[in-house]
Structure 1
Amino acid sequence: MSAPALQAISARAPRSDGVEARQRLLYAALALFAANGYAKTSTREIARAADVNISAISYYFGDKAGLYAATFGEPMGGNAGDFVSLYDAPDLPMEEALRIFFTRMVEPLKQGEIVRQCIQLHMREMLEPTSQWAKEFERDIKAPHIAIAGVLCRRLGLARPDDDVHRLTFAITGLAVQLFVSQDLVDAIRPSLLNTPKNVDTWAQRLTGYAVALVEAEVLRRKAIAKPTAVPAARSGRKKI
């Protein structure tokens, strides 16, 4: 691991016992797993980067797999699936549900380099899946998707999502995902858009508005399809020969 990465770990979690030692392990593992993958990262290497005894891994996380699982959610303040119940309530207005969804989704962007490593880790897991992938898919991808589809069904008056609801759900959740994936591009083109916690909060507000507009466009599209086509009245008079 590079010297800047090691310095970042030290800055985030000063050497100490207990909670801080666990935190050092977590961030060291995140950086190494993101850069090298699960199979190519050893527990000895993680312990050395965190400047702790290797036995601390089993003490705090059980084993290497337990530490790997922890790096997916803890550094970002929790997993995406942990917040589904906050916006999935049947009586919650659609715009409020979407606001909660986007606020929770973009919150990790306030953490800077940590979230970059988390995204790198998730992308690597998709390309080089381990047993963790099935858990990540069910909890942090499928569960939020199903919840947002339910929110849209309530607005559209549907009992269950059809293909277009799923298309719309992918489009809406993709607004947040794309922001994470394109973080470096945003920084290169317009760094002011993500450079403060307030500006990250603005993203949540704007994405909510964009998503509402997409839903209302779908409402109008469905109404247009359902509207019966008027039949032109027959013209009177004789037919010209």
Structure 2
Amino acid sequence: MAELPQLHSDDTRERLLAAGLALFGRHGYDGVTTRMLAAAARVNQSAIPYHFGGKEGVYRAVAEFIAAEMGPRIQSLTREAEQRLQDPATDPGELLVQVVRDLAAASFVPGHPLAWFIFLTREQFHPTPAFDVLYERFTRPGHTLVSRLLARVTGQPEESPENLLLAHALIGAMVAFGSARTTLQRRLGWSESDYEPAQLQAMLAVIEQHCRATVAGLRRQA
């Protein structure tokens, strides 16, 4: 078998990360071998222990990559929301609607492939040590931001079970556009691939509408 061409170090890592994201999402951690990773990335198998220490290192690096992409976006939204809440004129309900829409927009921007959602969904059902990376740097900060704003709307304690469940419901409505996209695409007759820009805008409008209706209902109950 002919030797694969030598690649630059960064190129090798990027290829292995891309291969890991696709393969781990499709087959799970146990269903992927280092041989499969090397073949998909078109690199020598020895590159895996050299760059990542082994298959587990590739898996964790995929989680860190997703967290590094999404974490700063959520941090930016959190800082902006906290600054706006310092203004007495800020409507926390309206701010919540905008934050949920912005979170959805950050999650569905072009370049975030279906493999992201498959990988994240697998970690929800079968958490590995990589889940801690995603939770601390990505999912918990987003969940905390939504629950904090919800508490301003409902008057409930931010960390109360009722408030956290409400926050989870709001986030879940948004996540469904990623984790259950095939059902939606078939119902609407859309191609089963990445969402197109016009489709994304339609989804964001519905997510905003749903959140706004939820806020209005909560205010009536308060």
Which bin holds the TM-score, normalised by the shorter protein? Answer: 0.7 to 0.9
Deviations 1:137-163 (A, max 9, x none): 344333322221111122344553434
Deviations 1:28-81 (A, max 9, x none): 1122212222123222321122111223334444442232123236369723x4
1:91 alignment partner in structure 2:
83
Identity among equivalent positions (%) equals: 24
Take 1:152 and 1:128, find their aligned partners in 2: how far apart are those partners? 29
1:134 alignment partner in structure 2:
132
1:53 alignment partner in structure 2:
44
The structural deviation recorded for 1:206 is 3.0
Structure 1's consecutive aligned runs of 4 or more residues displaced over 6 angstroms after TM superposition are none
The structural deviation recorded for 1:131 is 1.6
Larger Cα-atom Rg: 1
**How many residues end up aligned between the 2 structures?**
206
Take 2:166 and 2:157, find their aligned partners in 1: how far apart are those partners? 16
Q: Which moved more, 1:65-74 or 1:166-175?
A: 65-74
Deviations 1:67-116 (A, max 9, x none): 2123236369723x44332232323354345434433434444548x632
The amino acid that maps onto 1:209 is Q
- Taking structure 1 as reference, are residues 87 and 97 closer, same or farther at Cα in structure 2, changes over 3 Å only? farther
The amino acid that maps onto 1:219 is R
The structural deviation recorded for 1:164 is 3.3
Take 1:191 and 1:156, find their aligned partners in 2: how far apart are those partners? 38
Unaligned 5+ segments in structure 1 are: 1-14, 223-241
SS at match of 1:91: helix
Take 1:37 and 1:168, find their aligned partners in 2: how far apart are those partners? 30
2:29 alignment partner in structure 1:
38
2:207 alignment partner in structure 1:
207
Please provide the CA RMSD for this pair. Answer: 3.1
Correspondence for 1:28 among 10, 13, 19: 19
- Taking structure 1 as reference, are residues 40 and 83 closer, same or farther at Cα in structure 2, changes over 3 Å only? same
- TM-score, normalising length: structure 2: 0.75
2:220 alignment partner in structure 1:
220
Take 1:185 and 1:157, find their aligned partners in 2: how far apart are those partners? 36
Deviations 1:195-221 (A, max 9, x none): 422431342233123212211211110
Task: Map 1:1-241 onto structure 2 (within 5 A).
Answer: 17-72=8-63, 74=65, 78-79=69-70, 81-88=71-78, 89-92=81-84, 93=90, 94=92, 95-111=94-110, 115-158=113-156, 160-192=158-190, 195-222=195-222
- Taking structure 1 as reference, are residues 40 and 158 closer, same or farther at Cα in structure 2, changes over 3 Å only? closer
- Taking structure 1 as reference, are residues 131 and 74 closer, same or farther at Cα in structure 2, changes over 3 Å only? closer
- TM-score, normalising length: structure 1: 0.70
Take 1:211 and 1:128, find their aligned partners in 2: how far apart are those partners? 29
Unaligned 5+ segments in structure 2 are: 1-5, 85-89
Report if the CA contact (8 A) 1:107-1:201 is conserved: no
Higher RCO by CA contacts (8 Å cutoff, separation 6 or greater): 2
The amino acid that maps onto 1:216 is A
The amino acid that maps onto 1:124 is R
